[in-house]
Amino acid sequence: MTGTVTLHRVLKAPAERIYRAFLDPDAMAKWLPPHGFTGKVHAMDARVGGSYRMSFTNFSTGNSHSFGGTYVELVPNERIVNTDRFDDPNLPGEMRNTITLRPVMGGNTELQVVQEGIPAVIPVEMCYLGWQESLTLLAQLVEANIPDNP
């Protein structure tokens, strides 16, 4: 038995900026780890059929877990579908993430995240809470409008 979480947000940022935040290794390391974790992207080949590898480290304990997957679908500024698989054999199976972006009023973007196939040993509520924290960090990154200095 596996779990699914679905999250929805409207972000005050253009779809292009949000799309880029999901595919830029430095951006992902900044926003994807939930509170209390640091993140490191070990490899990223952001193209259909390409893969990525990443790890999260619990800042308090120093324990880490790594995971990776492949990019199944990439529609610039609209849709990202990728798989996730934990390296830990106690967290079996493959998850599927579908990120959908849709421009809405005022230059904002509607974001929907669906994560399917969450291993049964991970409480869906904890996964949902982790995603909520990550999306708060994503909003802080993409909604900032900092002009370049001359």
Please report whether residue 52 resides in a domain: no
Token pair recorded at residue 133: 């924290």
Question: Residue 12 to residues 22, 74, 87, 99, 123: CA-CA distances in angstroms?
Answer: 16, 22, 35, 17, 30
In a domain? residue 16: yes
| Residue 66 is assigned to a structural domain of this protein | no
Task: Return the bridge partners of 115, or none.
Answer: 5, 97
Which amino acid is it at 88?
D
What is the extent of the structural domain holding 30? 3-36+74-143
Please state whether the predicted TM-score (pTM) of the whole model is above 0.85: yes
Tell me: the pLDDT tens digits for 122-132? 899 999 999 99
pLDDT score of 20: 98
Q: How many CB atoms lie within 10 A of CB 109?
A: 21
> 12 lies in a domain?
yes
Given a cut of 80, whether residue 77 has pLDDT beyond it is: yes
Establish if 113 belongs to a structural domain: yes
Which pLDDT band holds residue 68 (cuts at 50, 70, 90)? very high
Q: What is the CATH number of the domain that holds 88?
A: 3.30.530.20
Q: What is the pLDDT of residue 15?
A: 97
Q: Which of 105, 109, 66, 73 is nearest to 88 (CA)?
A: 66
Which pLDDT band, with edges at 50, 70 and 90, does 147 fall under? confident
149 within a domain of the structure (yes/no): no
In a domain? residue 129: yes
What total of structural domains would you count in the chain?
Answer: 1
Tell me whether residue 96 is in a domain.
Answer: yes
Local confidence band at 95 (pLDDT 50, 70, 90 cut-offs)? very high
What pLDDT, in 10s, does the model give residues 11-64?
Answer: 999 999 999 999 999 999 999 998 899 999 999 999 999 999 999 999 999 999
Within 8 A by CB and 6+ apart from 115, the residues are: 4, 5, 84, 95, 96, 97, 127, 131
